[in-house]
Amino acid sequence: MAGKVILLDFWPSMFGMRCRIALALKGIQYEYKEEDLRNKSDLLLQMNPIHKKIPVLVHDGKPVCESLIILHYIDETWPDKCPLLPSDPYQRAQARFWADYVDKKFYDLGRKVWTTKGEEQEMGKKELIGSIKLLEGELGDKPFFGGEKLGFVDIALVPFTTWFHAYEVCGSFSIEAQCPKLMAWTKRCLEIECVSKSLADPHKVCDFVLQLKKALGIE
């Protein structure tokens, strides 16, 4: 499909990372534009006037917003290489369900862990581990959520693992110790170049989160 592709993004964003992985898997050439979220570009405000958020995929001048919607768009526009979603409607519904589960749970629970203290933080930690264990159950003995190959749910989830180190530091706990299966899956994903080159460095993310905490006045 001809036409210029631009990704408006912010380097630590899990949602942006999802799009980077998908574009890499499909071998799509694109221009990466880093946004300063405290000083959003005219392009971002023009392309996503409703939510004013990244990521935004701009293809041939037309915007697509919301990361999972962007993944669907990428899959449907460049269908020949590396399908992200299965072809069977039931399998597709299952993939959508679990990606939606990641969306509903991980961002808010993670946020609870790095922005709160005491009892609220303890609850956040417990619920986060609980959610990860539920996903481990869904993974089962498969190498990836998509089966033999990386799929929609893998792409939706793996970016969150770049924030685990930050959560662990802020919450003084070990996700790895409690969730070895997910760690093994993460390592497997990182062996795929399209994934590893699209993900932010967890140590950089941790530094970012700690700086953000200071800036927001959170201890």
Q: Which residues bind other proteins (CB under 8 A)?
A: 50, 59, 62, 64-66, 69-70, 72-73, 76-77, 89-90, 92-93, 96-97, 100-101, 134
> Cβ of residue 15: shortest distance to other proteins, in angstroms?
13
> Cβ of residue 74: shortest distance to other proteins, in angstroms?
9
Ramachandran category for residue 158: left, alpha or beta (phi over 0 → left; psi -120 to 50 → alpha):
alpha
CB 159 within 8 A of CB 17: yes
Q: Helix or strand or coil: residue 50?
A: coil
* CA 73 – CA 86 distance, rounded (Å): 14
> Cβ of residue 91: shortest distance to other proteins, in angstroms?
10
Nearer to other proteins, 77 or 115 (CB): 77
Rg (CA), the chain: 17
Please choose, from the candidates 84, 46, 45, the residue with its C-alpha nearest in 3D space to the C-alpha of residue 67: 84
Q: Helix or strand or coil: residue 91?
A: helix
Nearer to other proteins, 37 or 93 (CB): 93
Nearer to other proteins, 156 or 209 (CB): 156
Handedness of CA 112, 118, 119, 123 (dihedral sign): positive
Nearer to other proteins, 87 or 172 (CB): 87
- Strand 5-9 relative to strand 31-34, pairing: parallel
What DSSP string describes 176-216? HHH-HHHHHHHHHHHTSHHHHTTSPPHHHHHHHHHHHHHHH
> Cβ of residue 51: shortest distance to other proteins, in angstroms?
8
Nearer to other proteins, 156 or 170 (CB): 156
> Cβ of residue 21: shortest distance to other proteins, in angstroms?
18
> Cβ of residue 1: shortest distance to other proteins, in angstroms?
9
Nearer to other proteins, 65 or 155 (CB): 65
